Amino acid sequence: MSEKPSDLIFSLDIGTRSVVGVLLKQQEDVFAVIDFEIAEHDERSMLDGQIHDVLEVSQVIRTVKSRLEDRNGPLKQVSVAAAGRSLKTIRLSLEHATPGKSLLNKDDVLSLELSAIQEAQKQLAEHHSETEFHHYYCVGYSVINYYLDGEMIGNLIDQRGSIANVEIIATFLPRIVVDSLMTALKRADLQMNTLTLEPIAAINILIPSSMRKLNIALVDIGAGTSDIALTAEGTITAYGMVPVAGDEITEALSQAYLLDFQDAEHIKRQLQTDQPVTFTDILGMEYTSSVEEMVKRISPDIEHLAEKISHKIFELNGSSPQAVMLIGGGSLTPTLPEVLAQKLQLPATRVAVRGADAIKNLVLNDSLKGPEFVTPIGIAVAAQSHPIKYLTVSLNDEEVRIFDLKKIQVGDVMLHAGINIKKLYGKPGMAISVHVNGKLKFLPGTLGEAPHIMVNGLPAHFDTVVKNNDVITVEAGRDGTSPDVLVRDLIEDIGTLDVYINEQLYSLPPLFERNEQPCEMTEKIQDRDRIQIRLPRTVQEIIIAARRTNLLETVKLSYTLNQRGKTAILRKAKLYVNDKEASLISSVSQNDRITVEEISMMEKPTLSSLLSEEELVSLSMNVTFNGMPLQLPIIKTELFVNGNPAVPEQLIEDGDSIEFKASPPVTPIFSDVFRYIDIDLGKPGPSTQMKTCINGEPAHFHSELKEGDQLELIWE
């Protein structure tokens, strides 16, 4: 063993078809491949770059790791990359004030870059609900440009200025992709050192910044996905992915020749040679076919793969790029570069497969020169040039991984976990609305409490700095309550009503009504109550408020109405306001004088004062006759007192028996009109004929009438 394991960079490319492990050693700017290992999945445990069977994938990872350890010693940490499946991309710039006297160092620049990533996380949180955001991890980023005091600059290290600015593209993947990757590594006794995105890893080693002024598309065609990255004007402009790749070609061979998937995969690799291919289908029949014939058989599927890739490139780039680089095992598909060039309307020489031998500053042996080794080597290089490390903390008993930035705070952990900090604050108590003297008022509830935060059992705040393996607990603050308001709390400066009752001055307080019912001022207000607060207005209210109800003493008069016992209340005194006779409902103003004068002989009630208006008035129907309004009785009421006919003005004595009788309702007919009008029904001439109409329609004398009918009698 020539190298210590601690000096080596261990990277894994966990693909849909196989797992590739690479060991590199860095000496200044040169990377040397020390060892590598490849192991294929026995089952289809990965689809489209996503782990579907963690146990199977972890076993393959363990196999690769064990073989490398046998030759190089123990391996504990590994750098990995995730495919671009379901990625989200945020592009932004972030500026930071820098000390004017000191030079910027590598840590300053890295902190600025990672702070920009964190700002990208915040933007992602603003555009997604909290339940969705915490399912995403940042898996890589690329620096587009640096700026110093507003001017673009190639590198910030050892520069001096007032404002440093970095523009980045940060990419995020679903948590299920990252978590399944971490779980598979853990089962293989490996700890994730860094994580990146496959197109980021590849583009940084194949297309250095000096080449990025060209509009180049890099396509990493694996087994399950084809990841795409684009450069232009000196920067990486976009990332994308299509869920079709080499497995589509394997499936095409399997379908065309009735082959098991593993056999089809083996045959697909033989298509890179010029030798005839011999195979046996699932029925046991043996065939020999030329490569040209087999490629022609699956050419529609090759064209479909090229179509999907070219469509995505057009979508991301807006036009054809200047050139396309193909990497990954799927890039070796026969005729694919030529078909893709046609789809992109490029010369065939502008679409080329690039292998690991195209990587600058890399020392490797001949067995690693193929395009399938670009990404695993790129992952190892990215671990050094663009490291993204995580610290792990516990947040409410749930493990959270977050960037190992300087001064990671509790608030950062909550943001990364997708917790909506606003929801940690107790909600204000529900306000209530109340109408006070006709005016709408809103009474706010109490404020909610702030959240209770603990770090390692000690009180903390959102800006408390956390370390690896810290334990954070957060309890939401309690909600506020609805307001506890009494009627008296609504009293404004109403004052008192000063009046004289029989020459004695009274200063009377306001009266209170709640939902049109008298209430006490100590009653609790409920939502939508209608409160009336006013001074007494009538003689009766004033006498009651002044506690002089003795002045309103009455006597009872008993009588019967249609043989049912009734009682009438008679006052024993006369009322005057400012020397004018008044009643209990008479209005009173400030400083008015009320006089209550007892009477020796009470006034007797009339029949009309005891009976309702409906009992006294005959009901009738309104019609018109020849344009003249007319009322036709329907029901008529007759009045009797002690058996004798009576009129509404008759006085009633105590003990009187009152009766009223209503005739049954009748429906008037046309001929009833003549009982209430004076009209000559004789013929005006020998040749004339009588014509009767109701509402313009012919009618007879016995036709029934309705309310509002228009009657006519004419001679023609």
* CA atoms lying within 13 Å on the CB side of residue 212: 22
- How many Å apart are CA 75 and CA 373, to the nearest integer? 20
pLDDT, tens digit, 9 for 90 and up, residues 589-616: 999 999 888 765 556 788 877 776 556 6
Query: How many other C-beta atoms can be found within 10 angstroms of the C-beta atom of residue 568?
Result: 16
User: What is the domain range of residue 247?
Assistant: 209-355
Same domain, yes or no, for 583 and 622?
no
Among 603, 623, 638, where does a domain finish? 603
For residues 79 and 383, is the Cβ–Cβ distance under 8 A? Answer: yes
Residue with more model confidence, 205 or 504: 504
Same domain, yes or no, for 231 and 311?
yes
Q: What is the largest CA-CA distance in the chain?
A: 146
Is 59 domain-assigned? Answer: no
For residues 453 and 461, is the Cβ–Cβ distance under 8 A? Answer: yes
pLDDT, tens digit, 9 for 90 and up, residues 342-378: 999 999 999 999 988 888 878 877 777 888 888 888 8
For residues 50 and 56, is the Cβ–Cβ distance under 8 A? Answer: no
Is 578 domain-assigned? Answer: yes
Same domain, yes or no, for 228 and 348?
yes
Give the least confident one: 73-87, 299-313, 687-701: 73-87
pLDDT band at 1 (very low <50, low <70, confident <90, very high): very low
In the chain, the number of structural domains is 4
Same domain, yes or no, for 450 and 566?
no
Is 625 domain-assigned? Answer: yes
- Please determine, for residue 64, whether its predicted confidence score (pLDDT) is greater than 60: yes
- How many Å apart are CA 584 and CA 576, to the nearest integer? 10
Give the least confident one: 78-82, 175-179, 500-504: 175-179
Percent of the chain with pLDDT over 70: 90
Burial class (CB in 10 A: 0-12, 13-18, 19+), 10: buried
Please report, as a single letter, which amino acid is at residue 669. I
Write down the pLDDT at residue 47.
67
Is 23 domain-assigned? Answer: no
Same domain, yes or no, for 213 and 348?
yes
Is 628 domain-assigned? Answer: yes
- How many Å apart are CA 83 and CA 223, to the nearest integer? 11
- How many Å apart are CA 352 and CA 423, to the nearest integer? 53
- How many Å apart are CA 263 and CA 287, to the nearest integer? 13
pLDDT, tens digit, 9 for 90 and up, residues 164-215: 899 887 777 777 777 788 889 999 999 888 877 777 777 778 887 778 789 9
- How many Å apart are CA 24 and CA 590, to the nearest integer? 101
Q: What angle do CA 48, 53, 55 make, to 5 degrees?
A: 140
Average pLDDT, the chain: 83
Same domain, yes or no, for 507 and 533?
yes
Percent of the chain with pLDDT over 90: 23
Is 46 domain-assigned? Answer: no
Measure CA 651 to chain center. Answer: 76
Same domain, yes or no, for 413 and 522?
no
Same domain, yes or no, for 330 and 232?
yes
Q: Supply the CATH number for residue 412's domain.
A: 3.10.20
pLDDT, tens digit, 9 for 90 and up, residues 438-453: 888 888 888 778 789 8
Same domain, yes or no, for 465 and 493?
no
pLDDT, tens digit, 9 for 90 and up, residues 528-563: 999 888 889 898 888 888 888 777 777 788 889 888
